[in-house]
Amino acid sequence: MATYDLVVIGTGPGGYVCAVRAAQLGMKVAVVEKNATLGGTCLNVGCMPSKALLHASEMFEEAGHSFAKMGVSVSAPKLDLPAMMNFKQQGIDGNVKGVEFLMKKNKIDVLKGTGKILGTGKVEVSADGKAQVIETKNIVIATGSDIARLKGIEIDEKRIVSSTGALSLDKVPGRLLVIGAGVIGLELGSVWRRLGSEVMVVEFLDRVLPGMDGEVARQFQRMLEKQGFAFKLGSKVTGVEANSKALLAKIEPAAGGAAETIEADVVLVCIGRTPYTDGLGLKEAGVALDARGRVQIDPHFATSLKGVYAIGDVVAGPMLAHKAEDEGVAVAEIIAGQAGHVNYDVIPGVVYTTPEVSSVGKTEEELKQAGVAYTVGKFPFTANGRSKVNQTTDGFVKILADAKTDRVLGVHIVGREAGEMIHEACVLMEFGGSAEDLARTCHAHPTRSEAVKEAALAVGKRAIHM
């Protein structure tokens, strides 16, 4: 029987990155995966397929709406949905193969099957009715998350879908009803709206994108409305009935009251995700969960059972691939006796719509609540030369800095390429930089990133182009 230094359960971005880092540090490593393919939610039914469809549908919309004004004359684009789905699948396959390659390159054993923890140092791997027990010095749980369900609304992944079904619809729904104005609802709502659906989003709270800066969310909502999104905020869906022609969704005000019925062809349920621990045997093995069903860990990712650690969506914190990856690296280094660490104050979040929304650090609401005195610097893309010539001027950059020290505490961007532009703010914040540092850093002209520099200048009330 093979004895490993580390067995990682789950090969999503948390698990496979952890395995690679551990192998780099000289450990003998195995990964256990119950899915047919490696890569977890992110590669198979999450980040990557959604970004492929966002890209393809954006090109479709651009070809139909933006080419002519630039003098590029094309006939009206036609949608070939199976070909678009094939484009998506090629992207998935390429990335999954990449992870397989990394496992081979780093001499990591891939054990296909469901992992169950029998106790410290013992993992049972079962597949096709057969089980084997693997011995290992350390175990990392990286089993990720699953879709959250709404009571009384049965997901069939055809007409009532989760994100997984919404990534594989075989025709464009005439009317798409989205439950939840979070990241999935707005990204996948964008995909299908661009391809021709009428999209209505029902959200329990009185705003979209909870957790993002309020001003950014409000302006972003208006931009989506201009694109054709309809929002029903402060509302909840209490049930969906199906007849042969349509789905009938019952919608009530969040606080209760008279219900109305809205017809749809497809309903997308995206109200968050829940930690996935099914079949892991955690209770029997003595691995404690917190009140929300997440694996409980200490600041060094250690669970309540000796030699067992946990990372990624299955533990507390933002359910993001890059957070899982950074935790994977940190826990591998800790197991190797090094000082692995994740800075939770500097984890960017990006919504990959058009325009994109990106954010790092504190929002204005969080600073107010914490009683921190801050200054705000804002700069709109309407005043940025590159955005003007490209006629993509929606959005703005907002920088929040400490009123006393000028240290940057939060950066929020809504605009094209916001997801790429946020990283200079991440580096700045990682090094404890100030708005003045950013304002005095030379930025190439003409770029959209100059708007970040101008927002930093605006913190000191001296933006040049405004």
Binding interface with ligand FAD (CB under 6 A): 9-15, 32-35, 40-42, 46-47, 50, 114-115, 142-145, 163, 184, 276, 279-280, 312-314, 319-322, 324, 352
What minimum distance in Å lies between the beta carbon of 247 and ligand FAD?
Answer: 21
32 forms beta bridges with: 9, 111
- Pick one of ligand NAI, ligand FAD, none as the site partner of residue 413 (Cβ within 5 to 8 A by kind): none
What minimum distance in Å lies between the beta carbon of 142 and ligand NAI?
Answer: 16
Residues contacting 325, CB < 8 A, separation 6+ = 13, 14, 17
At which residue do the structure tokens 């058009």 appear? 354
- Kindly tell me which residue out of 21, 273, 294, 453 binds ligand NAI, with binding defined by CB under 6 A: 273
- Kindly tell me which residue out of 311, 320, 329, 399 binds ligand NAI, with binding defined by CB under 6 A: 320
Q: Name the token pair of 367.
A: 């600073």
Q: Which helix (H) or strand (E) holds 204?
A: none
Residue 192 or 352 having the CB closest to ligand NAI = 352
CB–CB of 6/140 below 8 Å?
yes
- Pick one of ligand NAI, ligand FAD, none as the site partner of residue 41 (Cβ within 5 to 8 A by kind): ligand FAD
- Pick one of ligand FAD, ligand NAI, none as the site partner of residue 275 (Cβ within 5 to 8 A by kind): none
- Using CA atoms, how far apart are residues 89 and 293, in angstroms rounded to an integer? 32
- Using CA atoms, how far apart are residues 398 and 413, in angstroms rounded to an integer? 6
At which residue do the structure tokens 């968050």 appear? 272
312 binds ligand NAI (CB under 6 A): no
- Pick one of ligand FAD, ligand NAI, none as the site partner of residue 181 (Cβ within 5 to 8 A by kind): ligand NAI
Residue 191 or 459 having the CB closest to ligand FAD = 191
Total chain residues near ligand NAI (CB under 6 A)? 26
The CB density around residue 223, as the number of other CB atoms within 10 Å, is: 17
Catalytic site residue from 65, 300, 341, 445:
445
- Which residue number places its CB atom closest to ligand NAI? 182
State how far the alpha carbon of 8 is from the alpha carbons of 261, 312, 332, 409, in Å.
Answer: 47, 12, 10, 35
Candidates 125-133, 173-181, 288-296, 371-379: pick the segment binding ligand NAI (CB under 6 A). 173-181
317 binds ligand NAI (CB under 6 A): no
Question: How, if at all, do strands 122-127 and 114-119 pair?
Answer: antiparallel
What minimum distance in Å lies between the beta carbon of 352 and ligand NAI?
Answer: 5
CB–CB of 378/464 below 8 Å?
no
What minimum distance in Å lies between the beta carbon of 46 and ligand NAI?
Answer: 7
CB–CB of 144/317 below 8 Å?
no
- Pick one of ligand NAI, ligand FAD, none as the site partner of residue 9 (Cβ within 5 to 8 A by kind): ligand FAD
42 binds ligand NAI (CB under 6 A): no
- Pick one of ligand NAI, ligand FAD, none as the site partner of residue 182 (Cβ within 5 to 8 A by kind): ligand NAI
Residues 197-226 that bind ligand NAI (CB under 6 A): 202-205, 210
325 binds ligand NAI (CB under 6 A): no
Q: Is 300 a catalytic residue?
A: no
180 binds ligand NAI (CB under 6 A): yes
Candidates 216-224, 266-274, 338-346, 430-438: pick the segment binding ligand NAI (CB under 6 A). 266-274
- Pick one of ligand FAD, ligand NAI, none as the site partner of residue 204 (Cβ within 5 to 8 A by kind): ligand NAI
What minimum distance in Å lies between the beta carbon of 188 and ligand NAI?
Answer: 8
At which residue do the structure tokens 């009683």 appear? 371
Residue 20 or 268 having the CB closest to ligand NAI = 268
388: nearest Cα among 461, 454, 451, 440:
451
Residue 24 or 227 having the CB closest to ligand NAI = 227
135: nearest Cα among 148, 149, 120, 147:
120
Residues contacting 403, CB < 8 A, separation 6+ = 373, 374, 375
What minimum distance in Å lies between the beta carbon of 191 and ligand FAD?
Answer: 10
361 binds ligand NAI (CB under 6 A): no
What minimum distance in Å lies between the beta carbon of 243 and ligand FAD?
Answer: 29
- Using CA atoms, how far apart are residues 20 and 41, in angstroms rounded to an integer? 18
Buried b (16+ CB within 10 A) or exposed e, 370-400: eeeebbbbbbbbebbebbeeeebbbbbbbbb
Q: Name the token pair of 251.
A: 């919608």
The CB density around residue 132, as the number of other CB atoms within 10 Å, is: 13
- Using CA atoms, how far apart are residues 74 and 430, in angstroms rounded to an integer? 46
Residues near ligand NAI, by CB under 6 A: 150, 179-185, 187, 202-205, 210, 236-237, 270-273, 318-320, 350-352
Q: Which residues are catalytic?
A: 445
